[in-house]
Chain A
């Protein structure tokens, strides 16, 4: 199976900060990479699909980039509602998630 490794595992940031989360695949997955936001007690929410396409209704401060094995999710200006755990997920073959990145208030 393809292993997905996110970094960092957690981070502390302030409202207005620029935040970057990286995701690395153990082999090339082309652009079959998605990003999700998950808050406790809620269903996960799709943010970005196929590496860089913004899901409908998701604010434009969320941006995804990358291809092959290295991918990035950037939040350009962190808002209070963005404190959550973020996951990358590959859909190239037998799907797998990264271990998650928890974004906490500084």
Chain B
């Protein structure tokens, strides 16, 4: 069964840092392109960024609101995707989902992890 499980969410103060993890199983992670998407309370879905497979160069792309503050990385030996979030702002409060990209779409999603940025 294909599965994505996010972890690492919690409460952090503005200006702080947090690292989210996404454990993948049931598919060949090493060839997978992966995304992070978030949903702030009462708002719509927002694409955060993605990372290509290592065989495709492992390059990343980010949405403007998080560029320079967030970093996506992967550890193929652990089948795990990461989202390092620095200089967090209150507007980063959201449920964060990881997703497996296929056919240039977000094919499989995790259940999400909540991040709250508040003093």
Cβ 8 A contact of B107, one of A1, A46, A97, A100: A46
Residue A94 interfacial (CB < 8 Å):
yes
Residue of B nearest to A31 (CB): B104
B105 engages A34 (CB within 8 Å)? yes
Q: Which of B37-65 contact A (CB under 8 A)?
A: 37, 44-47, 50, 61-64
A95 engages B47 (CB within 8 Å)? yes
B45 engages A97 (CB within 8 Å)? yes
Number of residues of chain B lying within 8 A (CB) of chain A: 21
Secondary structure at the B interface, as helix, strand, loop or mixed, is strand
Residue B111 interfacial (CB < 8 Å):
yes
Q: Which of B11-69 contact A (CB under 8 A)?
A: 35, 37, 44-47, 50, 61-64
Binding site for B on A (CB under 8 A): 1, 32, 34, 36, 38, 43-46, 49-50, 53, 55, 85, 87, 89, 91, 94-100
